[in-house]
Amino acid sequence: MSNSLPEHAVVSCESENLILVDQHDREIGTLDKAACHDGQGILHRAFSLFIFNSKGELLLQKRSSQKRLWGGYWSNSCCSHPRAGEDMAEATSRRLQQELGIHCPLHFLYKFEYQASFGDEGSEHELCSVYLGQSDESVIANLNEVEDWRFVEPSSLEKEMHEETGPFTPWFKMEWQEVRSRYRDILGLG
Protein backbone atom coordinates (compact mmCIF):
# COMPACT_ATOMS: atom_id res chain seq x y z
CA MET A 1 0.00 0.00 0.00
CA SER A 2 1.48 3.36 -0.92
CA ASN A 3 1.78 6.40 1.28
CA SER A 4 -0.56 9.18 0.17
CA LEU A 5 1.24 11.78 2.28
CA PRO A 6 3.99 13.97 0.84
CA GLU A 7 7.42 13.02 2.21
CA HIS A 8 7.51 16.29 4.21
CA ALA A 9 3.91 16.23 5.51
CA VAL A 10 3.47 17.78 8.94
CA VAL A 11 1.79 15.10 11.05
CA SER A 12 2.62 16.29 14.56
CA CYS A 13 2.78 19.58 16.42
CA GLU A 14 3.51 20.84 19.92
CA SER A 15 -0.07 22.12 20.33
CA GLU A 16 -1.88 18.79 19.77
CA ASN A 17 -3.65 17.50 22.88
CA LEU A 18 -2.34 14.30 24.44
CA ILE A 19 -4.13 12.05 26.93
CA LEU A 20 -3.04 12.44 30.55
CA VAL A 21 -3.30 9.24 32.59
CA ASP A 22 -2.66 7.96 36.09
CA GLN A 23 -0.37 5.00 36.80
CA HIS A 24 -3.29 2.63 36.11
CA ASP A 25 -3.86 4.11 32.62
CA ARG A 26 -7.08 5.86 33.63
CA GLU A 27 -7.65 9.07 31.69
CA ILE A 28 -7.47 12.16 33.89
CA GLY A 29 -7.50 14.92 31.26
CA THR A 30 -5.67 16.30 28.26
CA LEU A 31 -2.79 18.70 27.79
CA ASP A 32 -0.86 20.02 24.84
CA LYS A 33 2.19 18.03 23.77
CA ALA A 34 4.65 20.81 24.58
CA ALA A 35 3.48 21.08 28.20
CA CYS A 36 3.49 17.28 28.58
CA HIS A 37 7.21 17.29 27.76
CA ASP A 38 8.29 20.34 29.76
CA GLY A 39 10.46 19.96 32.88
CA GLN A 40 10.25 16.42 34.24
CA GLY A 41 7.24 15.65 32.03
CA ILE A 42 3.63 14.88 32.88
CA LEU A 43 2.44 11.28 32.65
CA HIS A 44 0.64 10.70 29.35
CA ARG A 45 -0.36 7.78 27.15
CA ALA A 46 2.06 6.67 24.42
CA PHE A 47 2.94 3.68 22.25
CA SER A 48 5.98 2.04 20.69
CA LEU A 49 5.90 -0.23 17.65
CA PHE A 50 8.39 -2.94 16.74
CA ILE A 51 8.00 -3.88 13.07
CA PHE A 52 9.90 -6.88 11.73
CA ASN A 53 10.16 -8.06 8.14
CA SER A 54 9.76 -11.70 7.07
CA LYS A 55 13.54 -12.20 7.47
CA GLY A 56 13.22 -11.41 11.18
CA GLU A 57 14.96 -8.04 10.89
CA LEU A 58 13.75 -5.11 13.00
CA LEU A 59 12.94 -1.80 11.33
CA LEU A 60 14.78 0.99 13.14
CA GLN A 61 14.29 4.68 12.57
CA LYS A 62 16.62 7.58 13.23
CA ARG A 63 14.49 10.37 14.64
CA SER A 64 14.53 13.66 12.76
CA SER A 65 17.14 16.08 14.09
CA GLN A 66 14.33 18.66 14.19
CA LYS A 67 12.65 16.83 17.08
CA ARG A 68 12.78 18.54 20.47
CA LEU A 69 13.62 15.35 22.37
CA TRP A 70 16.23 12.83 21.20
CA GLY A 71 16.48 14.20 17.66
CA GLY A 72 19.08 12.27 15.65
CA TYR A 73 18.85 9.18 17.90
CA TRP A 74 18.06 5.68 16.65
CA SER A 75 14.84 4.19 18.01
CA ASN A 76 12.28 1.47 17.47
CA SER A 77 10.21 1.41 14.29
CA CYS A 78 7.66 4.00 15.35
CA CYS A 79 6.64 5.70 18.58
CA SER A 80 4.10 8.39 19.32
CA HIS A 81 0.95 9.26 21.28
CA PRO A 82 -2.74 8.77 20.77
CA ARG A 83 -4.45 12.13 20.50
CA ALA A 84 -7.35 13.22 22.67
CA GLY A 85 -10.43 11.21 21.67
CA GLU A 86 -8.42 8.61 19.73
CA ASP A 87 -8.14 4.97 20.77
CA MET A 88 -4.88 3.06 20.62
CA ALA A 89 -5.80 1.02 17.52
CA GLU A 90 -6.56 4.19 15.54
CA ALA A 91 -3.43 5.96 16.81
CA THR A 92 -0.97 3.15 16.09
CA SER A 93 -2.34 2.57 12.59
CA ARG A 94 -2.41 6.30 11.82
CA ARG A 95 1.11 6.96 12.99
CA LEU A 96 2.68 3.90 11.31
CA GLN A 97 1.23 5.08 8.01
CA GLN A 98 2.15 8.74 8.59
CA GLU A 99 5.78 8.10 9.58
CA LEU A 100 6.70 5.05 7.49
CA GLY A 101 3.97 4.65 4.88
CA ILE A 102 3.16 1.08 5.90
CA HIS A 103 0.19 -0.80 7.32
CA CYS A 104 0.23 -4.10 9.20
CA PRO A 105 -1.62 -5.88 12.00
CA LEU A 106 -0.21 -5.00 15.41
CA HIS A 107 -0.19 -7.24 18.49
CA PHE A 108 -0.07 -5.80 22.01
CA LEU A 109 2.88 -7.08 24.07
CA TYR A 110 2.95 -5.12 27.33
CA LYS A 111 2.67 -1.70 28.97
CA PHE A 112 5.13 0.15 31.20
CA GLU A 113 5.79 3.56 32.74
CA TYR A 114 9.05 5.43 32.35
CA GLN A 115 10.52 8.88 32.77
CA ALA A 116 13.63 10.12 30.95
CA SER A 117 15.07 13.64 30.76
CA PHE A 118 16.86 15.14 27.77
CA GLY A 119 18.92 17.86 29.41
CA ASP A 120 17.16 21.21 29.60
CA GLU A 121 15.02 20.43 26.53
CA GLY A 122 12.41 18.47 28.48
CA SER A 123 11.42 14.94 29.37
CA GLU A 124 9.34 11.97 28.44
CA HIS A 125 7.06 10.66 31.17
CA GLU A 126 4.90 8.07 29.52
CA LEU A 127 2.70 5.09 30.13
CA CYS A 128 3.75 3.29 26.98
CA SER A 129 2.01 0.37 25.26
CA VAL A 130 4.39 -1.77 23.19
CA TYR A 131 3.23 -3.55 20.03
CA LEU A 132 4.74 -6.03 17.59
CA GLY A 133 4.02 -6.20 13.85
CA GLN A 134 5.35 -7.80 10.68
CA SER A 135 5.50 -6.21 7.23
CA ASP A 136 7.44 -6.47 4.01
CA GLU A 137 5.90 -3.30 2.56
CA SER A 138 8.30 -0.70 1.20
CA VAL A 139 9.11 2.04 3.69
CA ILE A 140 8.22 5.56 2.60
CA ALA A 141 9.63 7.70 5.41
CA ASN A 142 8.15 11.06 6.33
CA LEU A 143 11.28 13.23 6.45
CA ASN A 144 9.78 15.57 9.05
CA GLU A 145 9.70 12.64 11.45
CA VAL A 146 12.34 10.17 10.24
CA GLU A 147 15.88 11.19 9.28
CA ASP A 148 16.97 7.68 8.31
CA TRP A 149 15.85 4.08 8.66
CA ARG A 150 17.24 0.58 8.33
CA PHE A 151 16.51 -3.07 9.02
CA VAL A 152 18.78 -4.88 11.48
CA GLU A 153 19.05 -8.48 12.64
CA PRO A 154 18.37 -8.84 16.38
CA SER A 155 21.86 -10.27 17.01
CA SER A 156 23.49 -7.29 15.26
CA LEU A 157 21.33 -4.91 17.27
CA GLU A 158 22.40 -6.67 20.46
CA LYS A 159 26.04 -6.11 19.50
CA GLU A 160 25.45 -2.44 18.64
CA MET A 161 23.72 -1.78 21.93
CA HIS A 162 26.33 -3.68 23.93
CA GLU A 163 29.17 -1.79 22.24
CA GLU A 164 27.21 1.49 22.34
CA THR A 165 28.10 2.19 18.71
CA GLY A 166 25.32 4.73 18.22
CA PRO A 167 22.91 6.89 20.15
CA PHE A 168 19.68 5.03 20.98
CA THR A 169 16.63 6.53 22.67
CA PRO A 170 16.24 5.55 26.34
CA TRP A 171 12.77 4.04 25.87
CA PHE A 172 14.00 1.89 22.98
CA LYS A 173 16.83 0.50 25.11
CA MET A 174 14.38 -0.34 27.92
CA GLU A 175 11.83 -1.84 25.55
CA TRP A 176 14.37 -3.89 23.63
CA GLN A 177 15.64 -5.50 26.84
CA GLU A 178 12.08 -6.49 27.75
CA VAL A 179 11.06 -7.59 24.25
CA ARG A 180 14.17 -9.72 23.73
CA SER A 181 13.94 -11.36 27.17
CA ARG A 182 10.17 -12.02 27.21
CA TYR A 183 9.63 -12.73 23.51
CA ARG A 184 12.86 -14.53 22.52
CA ASP A 185 11.01 -17.34 20.75
CA ILE A 186 8.93 -14.95 18.64
CA LEU A 187 12.09 -13.07 17.64
CA GLY A 188 14.03 -16.23 16.88
CA LEU A 189 16.64 -15.49 19.55
CA GLY A 190 16.41 -19.01 20.98
* Catalytic residue numbers, as ranges: 79, 126
Sequence-distant contacts of 31-40: CB under 8 A, at least 24 apart? 33/81, 36/125, 37/68, 37/69, 37/122, 37/123, 37/124, 38/122, 38/123, 39/122, 39/123, 40/115, 40/117, 40/123, 40/125
Give which of 7, 8, 3 is closest to 138, Cα–Cα: 3
Which run of H or E residues covers position 17? strand 17-21
